[in-house]
C-alpha cells in the first residue's frame, strides 16, 4: 500500500516516521503486558525444560519457514537491503507473529488452563521475548552501536534483579506488618472483653 504515492504522502510522511516508531514500541509493550497476564509463571518455572523446548521448536519452525520464503520475497521485492539482513527480518517476523495467535487461540478455545494451554502460552511468551531481544541486538549491531545495546541489556537485567529482590523484601515486610497489626488488634480486643 505504501507504494501508492497518495497513501504514502497521506499516511507515511517523512516527518511522522518517528511517531510511528514510538507508537509501535508502546503497542509491543501492551502486547507483552497482556501476554504476561495470560502466563502462569509458577507452572513455567516448574516445567522450564519442556516449555523452553517447545519455545525453541516454535522459534526454529518460524525461522525455517521464514528462511524458505525470504529468498523468494527478496527477488520479488527487489529491495536495496543486504540479503542476510532481509532474511533475518523475515525469519523474525514469522516467528514473532505466531505468539499472539497462540495466546489468543488458547484464550478463545478455553484450553489455557490445561497443561497443553499453559505450555503453549508460556512457550509463546518466551518466543516473543527472544524475538524482541534478537531484533534489538540485530538493529543495534547493524547500526554499529553494539556497545550501547549491551549496556541497555545490562541495565535492564540489573533493574529486573533489583526489582525482584526489593519487591520480595517489601512484600515480606508488608506481610509482617499486616500480621503484627492483626495480632495487636486481636490482643487489644481480648483485653477489652
- pLDDT at position 129 is 80
pLDDT of 139: 73
pLDDT value at position 189? 63
The count of other CB atoms within 10 Å of the CB of residue 78 is: 6
* Chain-centre distance for alpha carbon 8: 30
- Give the per-residue pLDDT at 191: 64
Q: Which residues contact 81 (CB under 8 A, 6 or more apart)?
A: 89
pLDDT of residue 142: 63
Helix axes 48-77, 115-142, angle to 10 degrees: 50
Q: How far is CA 50 from each of CA 22, 43, 45, 119, rounded to the nearest angstrom? A: 35, 11, 10, 8
Distance (Å) of CA 122 to CA 51, 52, 86, 136: 6, 9, 28, 21
pLDDT tens by residue, the chain, 193 residues: 556 777 677 766 777 777 777 777 777 777 777 777 777 778 888 888 998 898 888 888 888 988 888 888 888 888 787 888 888 888 888 887 777 777 777 777 877 778 888 888 888 888 888 887 787 777 777 666 667 767 777 877 787 777 667 666 655 655 555 656 665 666 666 666 5
Q: What is the pLDDT of residue 190?
A: 63
Amino acid at each position: 500500500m505504501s507504494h501508492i504515492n497518495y497513501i504514502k504522502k497521506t499516511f507515511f510522511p517523512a516527518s511522522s516516521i518517528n511517531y510511528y516508531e514510538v507508537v509501535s514500541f508502546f503497542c509491543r509493550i501492551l502486547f507483552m503486558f497482556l501476554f504476561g497476564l495470560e502466563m502462569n509463571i509458577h507452572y513455567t518455572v516448574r516445567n522450564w525444560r519442556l516449555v523452553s523446548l517447545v519455545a525453541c521448536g516454535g522459534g526454529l519452525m518460524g525461522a525455517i519457514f521464514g528462511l524458505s520464503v525470504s529468498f523468494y520475497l527478496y527477488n520479488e521485492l527487489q529491495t536495496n537491503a543486504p540479503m542476510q539482513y532481509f532474511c533475518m527480518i523475515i525469519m523474525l517476523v514469522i516467528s514473532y507473529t505466531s505468539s499472539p495467535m497462540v495466546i489468543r487461540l488458547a484464550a478463545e478455545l478455553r484450553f489455557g488452563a490445561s497443561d497443553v494451554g499453559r505450555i503453549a502460552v508460556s512457550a509463546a511468551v518466551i518466543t516473543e521475548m527472544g524475538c524482541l531481544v534478537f531484533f534489538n541486538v540485530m538493529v543495534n549491531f547493524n547500526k554499529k552501536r553494539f556497545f550501547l545495546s549491551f549496556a541497555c541489556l545490562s541495565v535492564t537485567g540489573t533493574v529486573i534483579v533489583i526489582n525482584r529482590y526489593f519487591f520480595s523484601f517489601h512484600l515480606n515486610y508488608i506481610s509482617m506488618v499486616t500480621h503484627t497489626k492483626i495480632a495487636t488488634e486481636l490482643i487489644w480486643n481480648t483485653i477489652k472483653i
